[in-house]
Structure 1
Amino acid sequence: MRSTSPLFLLSALLTLGLGCASAPTKPSGPAVLTSQETTVLSQGLTEAAVRYRAQVASPAPAVVERADYELVSDGQVVKTGSAKLDVRLVPGVPADVSFDERAPYVKSPEDLARLSTQGGTLLLALRGTLVVRSGDQEEKVPFAASRAARVPRLPTVVVAELDGARYSPEEVQINLRLGVHNPNPFPLKLEGLSFQVSVAGKSLETGTLAQADSVDASATGVYPVEVAVTRDTYGPEVKALISKGVLPYGVTGELTAPLMRVPYSLSGEVKLNVSR
């Protein structure tokens, strides 16, 4: 029977020990979320800015490299993205991570019209994975958090003010103020308000107002239109028309904004006052 020398045993033990020291170490457990939330920073008729915040803890030194995410509105994915984070994690100490996203939460004019009639609130959510690296190990930590936002509502166009001044038997000026009512708790950005004004069936004035304008939250923006009813604009029948003291009128047009088209049609009568 061969005997093993003490020197050989010591050498073998050292070899095994060195081999164990050179092997890659594994984290003692996965990184975890200790808290998370999504907040709505701002909202418009068709887009919103949201922020995701969380605290992440790891049992080993690690880095939260990035967030791969989806923005979800009313159950539909409206945007995907990736946010660089580079947040270092100290073992056992929760660290804050956050990122912002601004994107349309309405896909089409049809979606906007549907939501407007739906009323109530909708959920805006950020969901995805946080990519955490510890040594040569990479793990993906799922996350998801939502926040309720007010459903956007379409604005309406109304006649805010109306009067007619008779300067002579053949001259009347109609002062019309179109109102754009914004029922939302946020400002409404407009592209334009087109109009066509007719008097007694004849088109007398056309144009576009409110270009690149905005209406405050829960307010009505007012836009003036002046219409001259004279022999030149209406024709030789203007004297007989004015003599009645009341002029029938109609206003048609369209209110536009990103992903929004709101046609309108208004009509009525304007009683003439005598201007001296």
Structure 2
Amino acid sequence: MGCGSTPDANSNPTDGSRSIVVTYSVLGSVVEQLVGDLATVSVIIPDGQDPHEFEPSAKDIESLNNADLVVANGLDFEEGLEQTIDRAIDSGVNVFMVGDHITVREMSKDEDHGHDEDHAEEESTETTVESEEEHAHGAYDPHLWLSPAAMLEMLPALADAISTATGADLTSQLAALQSELTALDAQITETIDGITCELVSGHDELGYFADQYGCEVIGAIIPSLSTTSEASAGELAALKVEVEEHGVPAIFTGLGTSQDVADQLASELGVKAVTLSTHFLDGAVNYREFMLRLTQQIADALQ
């Protein structure tokens, strides 16, 4: 976490004048629930834009540099923001990286399809370059917000960081949000219970959800943790075999996945192609509503 100055003792830190900048809306909704009107919360990456590919504007960079606290996912999720965030840390801006405060999911060799050298000869020069970038991307899954348990794990540290940056006492807000997310976890468990939960996604994004709720990740259209990669013809053919062998009734797509490829794959397999909003709120009023909607979409598609 970047180090910066604490609030001036002579200022009024809880009048909403403190600024917290969050990288994406799902995480922003959690921060907003914690702080209420005790600070101004703004989100850098607009809903509908891919956080893996988003590039900041000059105004975005200014907002980050002037924030009392920046809250980011980390784990190479905000790829286009990484240099900006690093420079902000170097200049003394307080930055809270959520990925530093959870038990990070590490991709196994079987899951880490994008690293499979067996496909090297099948790929074009462009795809080979993207595979090299995927090696640099690392094997730590950044999609941590898709598990309420992961969010619960980091909440005390986040509340502490916000309190340090703003001077706000968040004791009651933290307890209320912890209670809400604990109940949310139970609701999701109940919704998924009894369903054969085998998941095929747009890219490798549902791992935390799968681990938490006893699902199995069969594969992904883009076999990578980032949507900046692409699948080879060989990888798509292998995915089709897996879907047929498991009898999966639906494949899930979303931001950063070619809808044409998803629709063609679903048509060839005779399964449904279901679009999920996994990376932004998409109209949900808070994190709880976002996760319940996502869970219900998955459950409905797999039943």
- Please tell me the TM-score bracket, short chain as reference: under 0.3
Higher helix fraction: Structure 1 or Structure 2? 2
Larger radius of gyration: 1
TM-score, normalised via structure 2 length: 0.18
Q: TM-score, normalised by structure 1?
A: 0.19
Instruction: Select the structure with the greater relative contact order (CA < 8 A; seq sep ≥ 6).
Output: 2
Indicate the structure with greater strand content.
Answer: 1
